[in-house]
Amino acid sequence: MGALAFGVGTVQETGVPMPAHNRVPLRLSRRAALGALALPWMGCSLRRAIGNDGAGASTVNGKHMTADQVSFGTLPDGRDARLFTLRNASGTTLKFTNYGLIVTELHAPDRQGRTGNIVLGFDNLPRYLQGHPFFGAIAGRYANRIAKGRFSLDGRTFELATNNGKNHLHGGLKGFDKQLWKPGEAHITADAIWIELTHRSPDGDEGYPGNLDVTVRYTLTRDDVFRIDYTAVTDQATVLNLTNHSYFNLAGGGDVLGHELLLNCDRYTPVDDGLIPVGELASVKGTPLDFTQRTPIGARQMQVGLAVPGYDHNFVINRSPHGGLALAARVVEPNSGRVLECHTTEPAVQLYTFNFAPAEGIVCNGGVKFGRHGGFCLETQHFPDSPNHPHFPSVVLRPGQTFRSTTEYRMRAA
């Protein structure tokens, strides 16, 4: 099998208001509101903006776009995690914390114009620190699995943590999902609001080579798009695969088996019992993995063949040879009318349907309990275990190259 033309070095290189006592408004001129605004979150004046609860808070207002930030809690080492809220005129609201870059809430309108939360998450930091199934987090350095926690690069073998049976998963014991990322400035234009956050992963972190500097930009647009832009550079050859691990439920409760899914994917990577690719690409045609026509997620889940019914599969996206964003998936929730489209520059998307939820379920925001199949993930990515399959799209990043990747989750109602 020839190499596929998607590599790390080539990807794109060619709504809940805050209480009034907890907000400190920052006045904008009309010119600033209509143009671009960049404001440091943690400047001296903001550090003195203390609400009644003792938490530093700030608010940035643009034309129909707002950004808030408050304290989300304290880590065991005493560092403060922040909660950021981006909101547009239609009420679509993105909440995330710089701890793990976890998306805690995403509110989107239904066909009646009523907004509701469509992701699984918690409203406090201590609950995340107790452990969770990667709700809403950035997974890295390597999202998904690496067989036996081992790979070779340029004649050297690297040993990683085996935190998923005998395999390595989502960056190891303390991956990017457990790091406190450094927030930059909030930028507002008439069309969008975004924040960039950065993290340095030092040489040897979780066994990976090279000092890696990663920047992730979270953007909310006025037309209800949640966009994630990733960039990274390294000083040594390394491997890299980043994704966001949000669990979606467009109904806001219950299971997702009645959600209707279309995948723009004619092929997938078959796996062994440890969910490690066997190395081939197979057609979805005539299998329970064929979502090339809109189909309820639960229609054929019992036929998939996993030990626990449901999906946990890497699908190869049908892409134009010209690159750029491609449709990966479209999901429709018939009762609310909510539609979610996933577009990405990545070569693949992992569909996961929360097969391993605890039997008692997990209580999330608003006291809503989610059990097995209570959410679905669309993890845009390179293939699992790519470092051990040279014919898979390359995940090698070298000094002088810049990793670039973009994923958009586009929300609407029909």
Residues serving a catalytic function are: 245, 379
Query: Residues 130-135: contacts with CB within 8 Å, 24+ apart?
Result: 132/362, 133/247, 133/354, 133/356, 133/357, 133/362, 134/170, 134/177, 134/245, 135/102, 135/245, 135/246, 135/247, 135/364
Separation of alpha carbons 330 and 348, rounded Å: 14
Closest CA to 356 of 128, 105, 134, 126: 134
- The terminus-to-terminus CA distance of the chain in angstroms comes to 42
Q: What are phi and psi of 41, to 5 degrees?
A: -65, -40
Pairwise CA distance, residues 144 & 14, whole Å: 26
98-93-380 Cα angle (round to 5):
65
Tokens of 199: 């993290």
Partners of 307 in the beta sheet? none
DSSP state of 246: P
